[in-house]
Amino acid sequence: MRCTLFFSGLAATALAAEPFLNEPDTGLETFLHQTNNWTEGTQPALKDMRGLNDFDFAARQKLSTENYFYYRTGSAGEWSYRNNLDIWQKVKFRPRFLTDTTKVNKTLGVTILGYNFTSPVFISPAPRAQYGNERGELNYVEASADEDTLYVAAMYAQKTIEEIAAAKSNTTINGPQVIFQQVLPMLVYLKYYSTNSPQIYSNANLSVTWDNIARAERTGAKAIVWTIDAPADAVRHRAARFDTTNANSATSSLTWDLYDQMKNRTSLPIIPKGIASVEDAQEAVRRGVKAIYISNHGGRQLDHSPSPLEIAYEIYRNAPEVFKQVEVLADSGVRYGSDVLKLMALGVKAVGLGRPFLYANCYGRDGVQKAIQIMKKEIAQDAAQVGIADLRKIGPSVINARELDETVYIEEK
């Protein structure tokens, strides 16, 4: 199941020749062969997971091809999927040395919509966690509580909104656990989602959406995360092989008017997820949102949609005030602490990961927890390397993102 992947930033002629490994080779397989007499198809030990990409390798050993493909799929030729992973190379750090960074690991905490968490990393909404472990999303809830991070629960999770809420901790170090609830009002045929979900669900009849919002409120979710970047069925060849794409070929009439209707129905803040342009970010600000969520859905919706780094940079270059006006969350293709730092340098407040946690859940709750811990540690280590003494004060001066000027839209003044 090895994929070929290329490295961006090389001359076009070199592109075709450069093999791209889904995970850059950092010696995991060599190590397993030598020390564990490892054979293909055997899940390595959790202790041997050193970076988030290791979990992708490990998940491939455990999951059926069908289930792995469902997690792993990108849209069409998966160019956006690969770009999400590659693009980080275009932005370099500008390390400053001889700064005392011994306390940086005490400055990882963030406040999102008034709720405190001990790190800027969170779990993005991605359903079917049960493929990796039968406890499904309960592992997400518990690991998030232990690590005091935000969990954004997916609407079509295997566990119901109520089951997820019941698993929340009342005693994280920042008090009762905070969860945000994702919703996705669209015309969608839910054959492949959990048996707990309604089967047919349409825009013409939003009662299911209103019901889900009411349930989220009732069970104490603190915000609604509204997926705006799935207005149609996605072109997903990898998933289509097993017929596990998410919808029929319907399109839906998601509009800002629906946002106004939703706002009328709930006192919870509604965070639009999937903001991919400066114009939509500004429109969201005009509509009075408190936070926006930059994402290209992990490259699963529209091939050649931009990565979160490019989107954040587009906003930064054209309307930097957006980062002050609203809180900005982001995800897609984040795999290392350094990726998180680059987004934060541009003004992003917190960063989500989707697939890595699905893969880590193949080790159950401990795997999810270890994945969060790895990210926290990498963020602190890399921040120190860059010379950041206090992560809360990170700014654009720690990166050189000029290379993105060639690819990112910049409004002509």
Ligand X SMILES: *[C@@H]1O[C@H](CO)[C@@H](O)[C@H](O)[C@H]1NC(C)=O
Ligand Y SMILES: Cc1cc2nc3c(=O)[nH]c(=O)nc-3n(C[C@H](O)[C@H](O)[C@H](O)COP(=O)(O)O)c2cc1C
Can you give the binding site for ligand X, defined by CB under 6 A? 37, 39, 102, 105, 111, 116, 169-170, 174, 198, 205, 207-208, 260-261, 264
Cβ neighbours of residue 408 closer than 8 Å, sequence gap 6 or more: 306, 310, 313, 314, 317
User: 275: part of which helix (H) or strand (E)?
Assistant: strand 270-275
Task: Return the one option of ligand X, ligand Y, none that residue 342 interacts with (CB less than 5 to 8 A, by type).
Answer: none
Of the ranges 119-127, 170-178, 376-384, 395-403, which one interacts with ligand Y (CB under 6 A)? 119-127
- Distance between CA atoms of residues 181 and 209, nearest Å: 12
Q: Which is nearer to ligand X, 198 or 320 (CB)?
A: 198
- Distance between CA atoms of residues 40 and 59, nearest Å: 12
Q: How far is the CB of 206 from ligand X (least distance, A)?
A: 8
Is residue 127 a contact point for ligand Y (CB under 6 A)? yes
8 Å CB contact between 7 and 16: no
8 Å CB contact between 334 and 353: yes
Of the ranges 45-53, 123-131, 213-221, 322-330, which one interacts with ligand Y (CB under 6 A)? 123-131
Q: How far is the CB of 244 from ligand Y (least distance, A)?
A: 10
Q: Which is nearer to ligand X, 108 or 398 (CB)?
A: 108
Listed as own residue / partner, the contacts of 368-374 with beta carbons closer than 8 Å and 24 or more positions apart are: 368/123, 368/139, 368/140, 368/143, 368/144, 369/143, 369/146, 369/147, 370/46, 370/49, 371/49, 371/52, 371/55, 372/119, 372/121, 372/143, 372/144, 372/147, 372/149, 373/147, 374/49, 374/50, 374/51, 374/52
Task: Return the one option of ligand Y, ligand X, none that residue 332 interacts with (CB less than 5 to 8 A, by type).
Answer: ligand Y
Size of the site for ligand Y (CB under 6 A): 25
Q: Which is nearer to ligand Y, 349 or 355 (CB)?
A: 355
Task: Return the one option of ligand Y, ligand X, none that residue 400 interacts with (CB less than 5 to 8 A, by type).
Answer: none
8 Å CB contact between 309 and 88: yes
- Distance between CA atoms of residues 269 and 95, nearest Å: 37
8 Å CB contact between 286 and 278: no
Is residue 187 a contact point for ligand Y (CB under 6 A)? no
Task: Return the one option of ligand Y, ligand X, none that residue 71 interacts with (CB less than 5 to 8 A, by type).
Answer: ligand Y
Contacts with ligand Y in 229-268 (CB under 6 A)? none
Task: Return the one option of ligand X, ligand Y, none that residue 207 interacts with (CB less than 5 to 8 A, by type).
Answer: ligand X
Q: Which is nearer to ligand Y, 107 or 373 (CB)?
A: 373
Q: Which is nearer to ligand X, 104 or 126 (CB)?
A: 104
8 Å CB contact between 333 and 84: yes
- Distance between CA atoms of residues 240 and 401, nearest Å: 36
Residue owning tokens 């934060």: 344
Q: Which of 67, 101, 119, 124 binds ligand Y (CB under 6 A)?
A: 124
Is residue 126 a contact point for ligand Y (CB under 6 A)? yes
| Residues near ligand Y (CB under 6 A) | 70-71, 84, 124-127, 154, 156, 182, 184, 227, 273, 295, 297-298, 300, 331-334, 353-355, 358
